[in-house]
Amino acid sequence: MANKQGLPMADSPVKINKPGDGSKEPTAEDQQKMEAAYNQMKRKMAIAEMGKAIKHKIMVLSGKGGVGKSTVATGLALSLAQQGLKVGLLDIDITGPNVPKMMGLEGRRLNVDGGRILPAQGHLGVKVISMAFLLEDEDTPVVWRGPIKLGAIQQFIGDVDWGNLDYLIIDFPPGTSDEPLTVAQNLPDIDGMVIVTTPQDVALLDSRKSITFANSLKVDVIGIIENMSGYAINGKASAGTELEIAGPGGKTHKATADDNGDWSVTLDIFKSGGGEKTAIEFNVPFLGKLPFDPGFVRGGDDGVHRIVSEPEGASSQAFSSVVSKIQNFVETEDTTGGLEII
C-alpha cells in the first residue's frame, strides 16, 4: 500500500531498496508501478486457483436487452442450488446490475477479509457478487470508459473469495461487448455460453450474433433458451365443457374441461418456436422453452424468485428441465475453454 504521497507504507508487500552512493532515489511513480505489477501478479495467481476451485463456469448472454436474461441467469443458479449444489452468481452487468434485487439482497454491502472480497449469500445459499453492492445510491449511473470497466471485471474475477463451487453462473449485459470478451480472456476453463432469446424475430436476429461471437472466441455454445414462450391460462368448468379462447393475432384456441373440470390453454404471446429453429440452423443445442410467467415480474420486484416461491410450479419444472440439459452438456462435452480472436 502507499500513503498520500504514493510512497510505500510500512505494511506494503512491495519494497524498493534504498539507493547506494550515486544512484537515483526511486520516485513515487516507480513505487506505484511496482505495486501495480505486484497486485496484477497476485490477481493472476488467484484467478488460476479459483479456476481449480470452481468445477463449472457458464456464461449467460443475450443479443439484445429485454429478453429476461438476468431472470434466466438467476433461475439457473437457483435451480442448480435446489439440487444441493454449491453455486455462485456473478453479475457482470456493470451499468445495469439487477441480480441483487432479484435475489433479495438489495442494499447489501460486501465484506473484505484478508484482502479478499466475500460474496453475499442469497436464496438457497447462492453466493452473489454484483456491481450493485458497491453503489452508494442505486440511482447513480455508472459512467465508465472501457479500461475502467475492464479493471473492475478483472477485480471481480481475481479478488473474490468464492471458495469451492460446483457452478458459477455469469450474467452479462446485453450484446457482445467488452465484458464477455474480458471474462473469456481472464477466466480459465469456461464450459460455454448459454444464449437467451425470445420468439420475436428481432431477438432471434441478435441471438445469431451471440452464437457467432461465441464461435469467434472458441467458447462452446451450450445451447439456446427460448424465454417468454407461451402464457398458460388455466380455469374451471363443468366436465366435458368445450371452450374457445381468443388469443393474440386473432387466433382462437380450443380447450375441453377434463373429468375434474380443469382446462388449460397456452397462448403464444411472442410467437413460438423461433429459438429451436435458430438452434437447428446453427447446429447448437436447444435447451428448451421457459413460459411467460407474470410471477417472474412480481418475484423480481419482491426479491423472491419464482423458483423460491413455487419450487414445484410449472416455471420451476421448466427451469429444472433446462438445467438438466446444461448439466448433461458440461459434464460430458470436452470443452476447450480457450480464447482465439478471429
- Give the Cα separation of 296 and 101 in Å (integer): 12
Q: Is 280 exposed, middle or buried (0-12, 13-18, 19+ CB in 10 A)?
A: exposed
What pTM did the predictor assign?
Answer: 0.78
Higher pLDDT, 135 or 1: 135
Q: Which domains does the chain have, with CATH numbers?
A: 54-229+277-332 (3.40.50.300), 231-267 (no CATH)
The number of beta carbons lying within 10 Å of the beta carbon of residue 30 is: 13
Q: Where does the pLDDT of residue 335 fall: very low under 50, low under 70, confident under 90, or very high at 90 and above?
A: very low
pLDDT digits (tens, 9 = 90+) for 22-49: 556 667 776 666 665 656 555 665 666 6
For 178, phi then psi, to 5°, come to: -65, -35
pLDDT digits (tens, 9 = 90+) for 171-203: 998 877 778 888 888 888 899 999 998 887 766
Higher pLDDT, 322 or 332: 322
The number of beta carbons lying within 10 Å of the beta carbon of residue 235 is: 14
Task: Count Cβ neighbours within 10 Å for each residue of 112-140 and write b for 16 or more, e otherwise.
Answer: eeeeebbbbebbbebbbbbbbbeeeeeee
Instruction: Tell me what pLDDT residue 159 has.
Output: 85
Residue 209 pLDDT > 70: yes
- DSSP state string for 31-54: HHHHHHHHHHHHHHHHHHHHHHHE
Residue 238 pLDDT > 80: yes
Q: What is the DSSP letter of 335?
A: -
**Reduced to 3 states, what is the DSSP secondary structure of residue 89?**
strand
Residue 155 pLDDT > 60: yes
- Give the Cα separation of 313 and 100 in Å (integer): 23
Residue 260 pLDDT > 80: yes
